[in-house]
């Protein structure tokens, strides 16, 4: 959780939201905007945004579903961190090999709502009677120990349980941290400020995902080049003193940089440069 907290602080810093948080206090006023920050457990954030007096929040997609707040909050932006898989896991040497094998047995989880929905649908498909249906039990912590200690035949949890001798036999969902807003605006007069903060956060997220790729290319190969670097909307093409050449500037995903550079060189691009983005503004 500390890593997710640090990532959230990086977003706030990049969005120029300045604040001082006193030790052990969960509420602080922002110094350069008429807003307050509230530091809450991730599981509480969807409810405060959806039904409370909070305009924006950062939490996990899985937490929104678990809190049954999907109808009350709107996912504004995926933030690119906190990614994990919610999986059904059993002991590696267990006789249980498939989800069907686990039906009718005991499952321990900290995501009780999601697990009940998942296994209820599976039990319905197998036409299990009431006494034969999968039993879901909530445990707030030590989920990974539930099988070894005889509390469960399987668990539903994140993908960090392999150290406990478990392996996955199914996946409920893939999840990551998201910026959310209320489906019903709470403070219409603050809409411009909310939109500005949202735009800033989107820019910070984009700057972590993209770099700026600049290169020179023969004009007759421009079509090939822009197919390789289409940018988020379109590349910027500028004329050079040599009329047979143009300069191109385009945003490229970091994870694709090496392949993009190789492809550009293969079609004759020269002076291919990759420039890191500290911040930017992009369309959501």
Give the torsion sign (CA, 12, 17, 22, 26).
negative
Residue written as token pair 């050079």:
240
pTM across the whole model: 0.84
pLDDT at residue number 202: 96
Q: According to the model, what pLDDT value does residue 149 have?
A: 57
- What CATH number is given to the structural domain containing 146? 3.40.190.10
Residues 106 and 243 in one domain: no
Task: Please state the rounded mean pLDDT for residues 14-29.
Answer: 89
**Together in a domain, 76 and 135:** no
Specify if 160 maps to a domain.
yes
Q: For the chain, what is the domain count?
A: 3
**Residue 181 sits in the same domain as residue 74:** yes
Same structural domain for residues 133 and 272? no
Residue 218 confidence (pLDDT) = 98
- Give the pLDDT score at 49: 96
Which stretches of the chain are assigned E, i.e. beta strand?
27-29, 36-38, 56-60, 73-78, 84-91, 106-109, 135-138, 154-157, 166-175, 177-182, 210-218, 236-239, 245-253, 270-276
The pLDDT value given to residue 148: 60
Q: What is the pLDDT of residue 103?
A: 85
Distance, in Å, from the CA atom of 261 to the CA atom of 269, rounded to the nearest integer, reads 9
167 versus 241: the higher-pLDDT residue is: 241
* pLDDT tier at 90, thresholds 50, 70, 90: confident
Mean pLDDT of the 232-247 span: 95
Residues 27 and 56 in one domain: yes
Least confident of 97-111, 128-142, 248-262: 128-142
Torsion, CA 184, CA 189, CA 195, CA 200, rounded to 10 = -130
**pLDDT at position 58:** 96
The structure tokens listed for 34 are: 């008429």
CB count in 10 Å sphere of residue 277: 16
Residue 262: pLDDT band with limits 50, 70, 90 = very high
In whole angstroms, what is the distance from residue 113 CA to residue 136 CA?
9
Residues 136 and 55 in one domain: no
- Provide the pLDDT for residue 141: 63
Both tokens of 40, joined, read 């809450």
User: What is the domain range of residue 48?
Assistant: 2-81+177-186
pLDDT one-digit tens code per residue, 125-159: 888 888 789 889 887 766 656 656 566 666 556 55
Mean pLDDT of all residues in 36-58: 93
Q: What are the tens digits of pLDDT across the range 156-176?
A: 565 556 666 788 888 889 999
Q: Which pLDDT score is estimated for 5?
A: 85
**CA-atom Rg of the chain in angstroms:** 24
């Amino acid at each position: 959780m500390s890593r997710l907290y640090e990532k959230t602080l990086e977003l706030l810093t990049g969005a120029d939201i300045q604040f001082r948080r006193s030790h052990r206090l969960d509420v602080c006023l922002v110094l350069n905007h008429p807003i307050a920050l509230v530091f809450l457990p991730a599981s509480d954030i969807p409810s405060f945004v959806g039904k409370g007096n909070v305009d924006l929040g950062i939490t996990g997609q899985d937490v929104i579903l678990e809190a049954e707040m999907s109808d009350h909050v709107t996912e504004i932006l995926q933030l690119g961190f906190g990614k994990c898989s919610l999986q059904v896991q059993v002991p590696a040497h267990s006789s249980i090999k498939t989800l069907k094998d686990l039906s009718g047995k005991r499952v321990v989880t900290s995501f009780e709502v999601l697990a009940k929905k998942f296994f209820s649908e599976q039990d319905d498909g197998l036409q299990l009677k009431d006494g034969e249906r999968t039993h879901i039990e909530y445990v707030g912590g030590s989920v990974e120990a539930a099988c070894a200690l005889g509390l469960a035949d399987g668990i539903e949890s994140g993908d960090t349980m392999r150290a406990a001798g478990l392996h996955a036999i199914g996946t409920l969902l893939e999840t990551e941290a998201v910026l959310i807003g209320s489906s019903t605006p709470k403070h219409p007069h603050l809409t411009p400020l909310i939109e500005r903060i949202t735009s800033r956060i989107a820019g910070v997220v984009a700057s972590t995902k993209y770099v700026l790729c600049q290169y020179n290319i023969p004009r007759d190969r421009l079509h090939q080049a822009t197919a390789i670097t289409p940018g988020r909307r379109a590349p910027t093409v500028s004329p050079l003193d040599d009329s047979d050449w143009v300069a191109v500037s385009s945003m490229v995903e970091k994870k694709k940089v090496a392949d993009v550079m190789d492809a550009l060189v293969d079609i004759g691009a020269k002076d291919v440069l990759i420039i890191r983005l500290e911040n930017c503004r992009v369309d959501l």
